[in-house]
Structure 1
Amino acid sequence: MELFFREKILYPFLLILIIIITTLTDLLINITITYVSNYYEMMVQITVLLVGEEKIYMSSFRYKFSLISLTAVISTALLLSGCSSTATKAKDTTSAPAGKIKIVAAENFLGEVATAVGGDRVEVTSVITSPDMDPHAYEATTDTSKAVSDAQVVIYVGVGYDVWIEKLLKASSASKKVINLGELLGKKDGDNPHVWYIPESMPKLADALAEQLGKIDSTQMDAFKKRAQDYKTSLAPLTDLVKKLKQASPTDVAVSEPVFGYMSTALNLNTVNEKFALAIEEETDPAPGDVAALQDVLKGKKVKMFIQNTQVNSPTVKTMVDLAGANQIPIVHVTETEPKGKNYLQWMTDQLTEIKNALGVK
């Protein structure tokens, strides 16, 4: 029985199994050879194109192996080249942030300089943008707080003028470039805060901005410096006018308050009623003696002009303006904030033109 099982059943089954396995193996080998051959031929063609050979002989295994090695070398070189290119690009962009540099300017005339120097590389947000907004009494909104927090550069007047932005800077944990115009000009708390009336203020701000922006994006340093120079050049008419109007000897003037003080100094104009002006600035009543002294000056026509800050609403100042007009003393109108629809150059030029007319300069 056992002999019958081995001869009639087991052996035939094993034979059939061996035939099946052999057939499948042969099929698999043929498929593999075909695939490898096709892949090999494709790589050879690519290599021929890259190497530039007109004829490639494949009669020897050694040559085939060399060709495959060459193909591998070329492929590896291309891969490394791609990696190197990617690495180089990554390195180049580390100093050139993709997004625009965000700048917050406390006042619009500061933002104007930032836009001029930064060009299309910056996004500028100015906070005090209207003559109706009081920089002293301004209270920051949620949007302003967020803008300051997100900014990479913040510009403000300082010298105790726009303290609200200093509070926002202290509350912000993010690192940023900060330009305090007062400090840039060597001023400190307690000094006259209206430092934008210093003729050199905007040119110095332009240079400081170019330097700070260049630290953020070094690839644009030269462009920032060029635009800063272009902006300073645009202010040349103002510089020339200041030189033209500067008096050879001190010329007495009366003022409603000290907003124009730095420009008066630059023009060699001497303010005769400083105590009166300081009281008006601090929103207190001037001392009776100071009021009487100013009235005497105006009635006696002892000053060349009365410089009035038109944004100050004071009955006492109005009385003095009327008195100056009654005595044919020219009234020069100035403002603390930039008038709507004008830039810094136009703003300053308009005011200096009134000074020019009051002095009788041709």
Structure 2
Amino acid sequence: MFERAKKVTAPLAGLVVPLLAVSACGGADEAAPADGGGLRVVASTNVWGDVVRAVGGDAVEVTSIIDDVNVDPHSYESSPAEAAEVADADLVIYNGGGYDAFMENLVANTDAPVIQAVRTAEDGAEEGEERPAPAQGGEEEHAGHEDGAEGGDHAHDGEEHGDEAGHGEEHGDEAGHGDEGGDPHAGHDHSGNEHIWYDVHAVHDVAEAVSAELGELVPDQAEAIDGRAQDLGSELEGIEERIAAVSEAHSGDEVLSFDPIPQYLLEEGGLDDLAPEEFLTALEAGNDPPASAVADVQDLIDEGEPRVVLHNPQTESGVTRQLRERAEGNGIPVVEISELVPADTDYATWMGGQVDALAEALES
């Protein structure tokens, strides 16, 4: 268990997957592969690291700075070794929106292209009809971080940090990954909720941006990279279809979430989260919710209001454990969700499994 507000400093080894090989960067037009044969890619968490790995295949060597479920990206403090890895990377990807704020200083010191997932998703949304972002506990804390996003398809550090990183001139005109024909996956406004990996539309947009960047870095492998991106896109579209089936069968059904992370999934599934805002706000900050909010949640459970409870065992506290046990005692199905991709699986399998578990619970 971790408290989201807790300061955590990682040791130099242990939280960093030892996949990076040390080698000099190539020229500006084409990156030189790492000694292990792949481009050096650094991701803030294993969610985005897995997306890069799925798209890049053998063309990449991926390091995910955070892949431990006990570490909170909101308050993580990076090490000098991780700063060096980012500085030497061929491509960097992070979430943005305040979720992994430790990356802001790191990407300011790399000349590599940088994909910021929140801005990439927002740029995709600009191409389609925007829908309101679901309310969640961190809205006040993180709202407005990405308000200055301009119309490119992904964020480079030069756009976010100004000229200090030197990315604007080199990469600022490389946008346009996906402009052709519009984006069928656009829709959500991501400015108020940074947990965008629970929006499969957004992950699809990010995967396409990754494919475009990798294709530019290693043009001789661009066709294979694009093929893997399309394969991943097909998997994600399958998950979207399963979410749409949930919406068709259960639109308006009431659920109760003990964590703000699945709000995009719940919105897309047409489900109404009964969790009080002050309840989620406190949990997002790593605090116990106010007694009044806990009492309201207890009443909802005792009255059998939610069809399903969503519980994150990775962030379980004494309060949420007691509430989970109360729900189980009242015969309410509990679906486990998680913040990071568990070991020995991949993003599509993990997210698809959570959608299937939710659908099954709603049918029970």
Q: Do they fold alike, i.e. is TM over 0.5?
A: yes
From the superposition, tell whether residues 244 and 103 of structure 1 become closer, same or farther in structure 2 (CA, over 3 Å): same
Which SS does the other structure have where 1:246 is aligned?
helix
2:31–2:90 Cα contact (<8 Å) kept = no
From the superposition, tell whether residues 96 and 286 of structure 1 become closer, same or farther in structure 2 (CA, over 3 Å): closer
Question: 1:101 aligns to what?
Answer: 39
Question: 1:211 aligns to what?
Answer: 212
* CA-CA distance at 1:335 after TM superposition: 0.9
Work out the CA distance in 2 between the residues paired with 1:294 and 1:135: 27
1:130–1:338 Cα contact (<8 Å) kept = no
Question: 1:256 aligns to what?
Answer: 258
- Structure 2's unaligned 5+ residue stretches are 1-26, 123-142, 146-190
1:257–1:278 Cα contact (<8 Å) kept = no
* CA-CA distance at 1:292 after TM superposition: 1.9
Work out the CA distance in 2 between the residues paired with 1:154 and 1:214: 15
From the superposition, tell whether residues 159 and 95 of structure 1 become closer, same or farther in structure 2 (CA, over 3 Å): closer
Work out the CA distance in 2 between the residues paired with 1:137 and 1:250: 35
Which SS does the other structure have where 2:75 is aligned?
coil
From the superposition, tell whether residues 166 and 325 of structure 1 become closer, same or farther in structure 2 (CA, over 3 Å): same
Work out the CA distance in 1 between the residues paired with 2:227 and 2:261: 32
* CA-CA distance at 1:359 after TM superposition: 0.8
2:94–2:116 Cα contact (<8 Å) kept = yes
1:182–1:188 Cα contact (<8 Å) kept = no
Work out the CA distance in 2 between the residues paired with 1:168 and 1:95: 23
Q: 1:183 aligns with which of 119, 122, 146?
A: 119
2:30–2:216 Cα contact (<8 Å) kept = no
Q: 1:295 aligns with which of 282, 290, 298?
A: 298
Which SS does the other structure have where 2:77 is aligned?
coil
* CA-CA distance at 1:155 after TM superposition: 0.4
Greater relative contact order (CA < 8 Å, ≥ 6 in sequence): 2
Work out the CA distance in 2 between the residues paired with 1:112 and 1:97: 21
Q: For 1:141-152, list aligned pairs within 5 A.
A: 141-152=79-90
Question: 2:59 aligns to what?
Answer: 121
1:298–1:327 Cα contact (<8 Å) kept = yes
* CA-CA distance at 1:192 after TM superposition: 1.8
Name the amino acid aligned to 1:130. Answer: D
Work out the CA distance in 1 between the residues paired with 2:117 and 2:315: 24
In the superposition, the TM-score normalised over structure 2's length comes to 0.68
From the superposition, tell whether residues 258 and 94 of structure 1 become closer, same or farther in structure 2 (CA, over 3 Å): closer
Q: Which runs of at least 4 in structure 1 moved beyond 4 Å after TM superposition? A: 93-98
From the superposition, tell whether residues 322 and 98 of structure 1 become closer, same or farther in structure 2 (CA, over 3 Å): closer
1:295–1:320 Cα contact (<8 Å) kept = yes
Work out the CA distance in 2 between the residues paired with 1:150 and 1:106: 15
* CA-CA distance at 1:318 after TM superposition: 1.7
Work out the CA distance in 2 between the residues paired with 1:332 and 1:115: 28
Work out the CA distance in 2 between the residues paired with 1:119 and 1:354: 29
Is residue 2:204 matched to residue 1:266? no
Name the amino acid aligned to 1:109. Answer: V
Return the structure number with greater helix share. Answer: 1
Question: 1:160 aligns to what?
Answer: 98
Which SS does the other structure have where 2:289 is aligned?
coil
Larger radius of gyration: 1
Is residue 2:284 matched to residue 1:281? yes
Name the amino acid aligned to 2:239. Answer: L
Name the amino acid aligned to 1:342. Answer: T
Question: 1:234 aligns to what?
Answer: 235
1:311–1:335 Cα contact (<8 Å) kept = yes
Work out the CA distance in 1 between the residues paired with 2:310 and 2:106: 35
Which SS does the other structure have where 2:208 is aligned?
helix
From the superposition, tell whether residues 97 and 337 of structure 1 become closer, same or farther in structure 2 (CA, over 3 Å): closer
Q: Deviations over 1:230-277 (max 9, x none)?
A: 221233432232122124531111111211111111111111123212
Name the amino acid aligned to 2:82. Answer: T
Percent identity between matched residues is 30
Name the amino acid aligned to 1:202. Answer: V
* CA-CA distance at 1:98 after TM superposition: 4.5
Work out the CA distance in 2 between the residues paired with 1:229 and 1:292: 47
